Amino acid sequence: MNSKYAKIFTPIKIGSMIVKNRIETAPAAPRLASPEGLVTPELIEWTRALAKGGAGIVTVGISMVTPPFGHMNGFCVNIGDDNVVPGLAVLADTVHRYGAKASIELAGFAMGHDMPEEGKSPIDMMSQEDIENWISLFANAAERAMKAGMDMVLIHGGHGILVSNFFSPLFNHRTDKYGGSTENRARFACELFDAIRSKVGTKLAIEFRLSAAELVPGGVELAETIEFIKIIQDKIDLVHVSAGMLLDDEMVPITTQPTYLKRGYNAHYAASIKKAAGIHVPVTTVGSIDLDLAAEIIENDDADMCAMIRTVIADPNSVNKARTGKEEETRPCIRCVLCLNRTHGMEPLRVACAVNPKAGRECELKDLPTLADQKKKVVVIGGGPAGMEAARTAGDRGHEVVLFEKSDCLGGTLRLAVAPDFKTDLKNYLAWAIRMTSRHPNVSLRLSTEATTANIMAESPDALVIAVGAQSNIPNLSGLDGADVVWVGDVESGTVDVGQNVVIAGGGLTGCETALDLARKGKNVTIVEMVSEKKMLDPSPIPMTALLQLLKKENVTILADHKLIKAKDHSVLIKGSIETNDGEKEISFDTLILSLGVKPNLLEVSKFANLIDDVFVIGDCTTSQGTLYTATTAGYNAGLDI
């Protein structure tokens, strides 16, 4: 074990139990439970991967304490009914098999998902009977967790959800014993913890998640939170420190940080609480934490434990890899937030990961033989993310793989995307993918070698994987062939000069990231995008929300709902949509950057598609809507299917 991780792997006492290390998998909603909220084989295998990976505590996320009500459970575990206990017991046993402690998050979702209107919130109108009913629901849910053999319950009291609303002065305007003073606003939580203790005693540890600061006007601030913790700390065993609210889409990137915000974004709140006079309850911190940052936090005594979920979705074995000195093999999370975008939409999908094609498919893949029945010779054309994933997967299954890449290095167009300073996460993933592909014992690289029919057939392949990527999409509009018009990829690679006044045609992630990079370098930037600013969020809501906020901070002009008509010498003609009621107008520029997506490289595919019987076409050469997720998933599937 690398000595920098030593403190992470020291045991810690939480309540009456000893936890083997300082890493907790944070609660997530993989949407793998049944429609009725019962534990399924899919959820068991998802949880097994996390427990087997080495964390000290494994937490089942977002479990409602209210009685089940059909599909509205959102495919999360519902612990408001006795029927959940048998399946939950199997899940607990699965976690225990790997030496971890099993926790489950209890959440009350029926209240508190709207900001107060006209100074009133649902909390203000709850009767004493309503309050006692909620407390009973939580206590009964904790008792079910105990009966199932769980070790801990995590009470969700942050992010604008029910329990937090009682303490928040923004929501709580009551004039009875639950409102007014700090002590009164803490009363609901105190009664809740007391009711749970009356049901479970010390057989379960209680963890309490809160927002150290709600980060909205009139909301809870850190000093109040510290006083709150002093009141409740003898009733709980661990305090889980987050920040922000989930009531406003603009706030979501603060709670779940995309790659544009620093790692450990909210960790300073945990450090302040940990070091506050009079606080003695152990502290967990959360928020874009990986193993290296966790080591630093624990070493500095800024928290007692670190909770993480995206790190262990990207590589479920990351904790064990740190413990055994194999941290270089850890697949990095790129913080694209695909996992959350999929599972927290209006129509939730099962969890998935842009860099880990196995995520959410553990049950499907659990009986797959490690090695293929028959060793084959496989040729892969293209060393981008799809080609590398296919090569590694086929190699893992025992096949002999030859990878042709026409450039002198692996990475494909992903090498362009990592250029901005704020793309460190993606840069780390690219370095990992190249490292793991290059060192794979069953993969031979042919760099600086363009694939031809002759050199492919010279390898006598049994299977061929075509991953030749896409080409830039340049519309047939007047003036786009001028010397002052450049492709966004050439800007990212640094092969073209960019003037002071820049217009970017295309407001997708690539165009907006380029705009942010140039604006931070002092350029005056305008983005022209056909769809509305609201629809700009659709492909990736949380990252794009953060990106638009940062662009506005850098004074980037965003002309949404505008269409590019034509370009001429140092100016572009655009036209607003009917919704904008904006006619044609001309904007001058020094450089026009085209970021209008890509189109499949079908001509290149056609050269090889019929060379042999077993051919797989994957990645961007199959779609104009390709992402890293579609690339790695297609590459992995191809490697499995050979």
pLDDT tens readout for residues 98-108: 999 999 999 87
Strand partners, 539: none
Instruction: Write down the CATH number for the domain with range 3-365.
Output: 3.20.20.70
Question: What is the spatial distance between Cα 437 and Cα 421, in angstroms, rounded to a whole number?
Answer: 25
Which of the four pLDDT bands, split at 50, 70 and 90, describes residue 112? very low
Within 8 A by CB and 6+ apart from 389, the residues are 357, 433, 631, 632, 634, 635, 636, 639
**CA 374 to each of CA 209, 389, 458, 641: distance values in angstroms, whole numbers, following the listed order:** 51, 20, 21, 12
pLDDT tens readout for residues 253-298: 888 999 999 999 999 999 999 999 999 999 999 999 999 999 999 9
Among the listed residues 614, 611, 616, the one whose alpha carbon sits nearest the alpha carbon of residue 638: 616
Report H helices in 418-540.
424-438, 453-457, 488-493, 509-520, 533-536
Among the listed residues 195, 101, 81, the one whose alpha carbon sits nearest the alpha carbon of residue 144: 81
Q: How many CB atoms lie within 10 A of CB 249?
A: 12
Strands 557-559 and 524-528: parallel
pLDDT of residue 453: 96
Rounded (10°) CA dihedral 210, 213, 219, 221: 120
Please name the CATH architecture into which domain 485-596 falls. 3-Layer(bba) Sandwich (3.50)
pLDDT of residue 67: 83
Strands 17-19 and 283-286: unpaired
pLDDT of residue 474: 87
pLDDT tens readout for residues 339-387: 988 887 767 799 999 999 999 999 999 999 999 999 999 999 999 999 9
**CA 122 to each of CA 127, 128, 196, 245, 486: distance values in angstroms, whole numbers, following the listed order:** 10, 13, 23, 17, 54
pLDDT tens readout for residues 43-99: 999 999 999 999 999 999 889 998 876 555 678 999 999 999 999 999 999 999 999
Are the C-beta atoms of 298 and 22 separated by less than 8 Å?
yes
- Does 434 have pLDDT greater than 80? yes
* Amino acid letter for position 5: Y
Within 8 A by CB and 6+ apart from 377, the residues are 399, 400, 402, 459, 460, 461, 462, 463
pLDDT of residue 114: 65
Among the listed residues 63, 76, 75, 32, the one whose alpha carbon sits nearest the alpha carbon of residue 361: 32
Give the chain's mean pLDDT.
94
pLDDT tens readout for residues 598-639: 888 889 999 999 999 999 999 988 887 889 999 999 999 999
Using the structure block, give the residue that is written with the tokens 């931070």: 520
Mean pLDDT across the stretch 491-495?
92
pLDDT of residue 113: 56
pLDDT of residue 251: 81
Among the listed residues 599, 629, 600, the one whose alpha carbon sits nearest the alpha carbon of residue 617: 600
User: How many CA atoms, within 13 angstroms, populate the side-chain half-sphere of residue 193?
Assistant: 24
pLDDT of residue 380: 98
Distance of CA 251 to the CA centre of its chain: 16
pLDDT tens readout for residues 380-430: 999 999 999 999 999 999 999 999 999 999 999 999 999 999 999 999 999
- The DSSP line for 325-363 is T-GGGPPPP----HHHHHHTSSS------SS-TTTT-HH
pLDDT of residue 472: 87
Question: What is the spatial distance between Cα 445 and Cα 435, in angstroms, rounded to a whole number?
Answer: 12
Domain segments of the chain: what residues? Answer: 3-365, 377-471+601-641, 485-596
The SS3 call for residue 239 is strand
The better pLDDT of the pair 245, 608 is held by 608
pLDDT tens readout for residues 543-579: 999 999 999 999 999 999 999 999 988 999 999 876 7
pLDDT of residue 110: 46
377-471+601-641 classified as CATH 3.40.50.720: yes
H or E element in which residue 447 lies: strand 443-447
- Of the spans 28-37, 111-120, 350-359, which averages the highest pLDDT? 350-359
pLDDT of residue 120: 78
Strand partners, 568: 571
Mean pLDDT across the stretch 213-224?
94
pLDDT tens readout for residues 134-184: 999 999 999 999 999 999 999 999 998 889 999 999 999 999 999 999 999
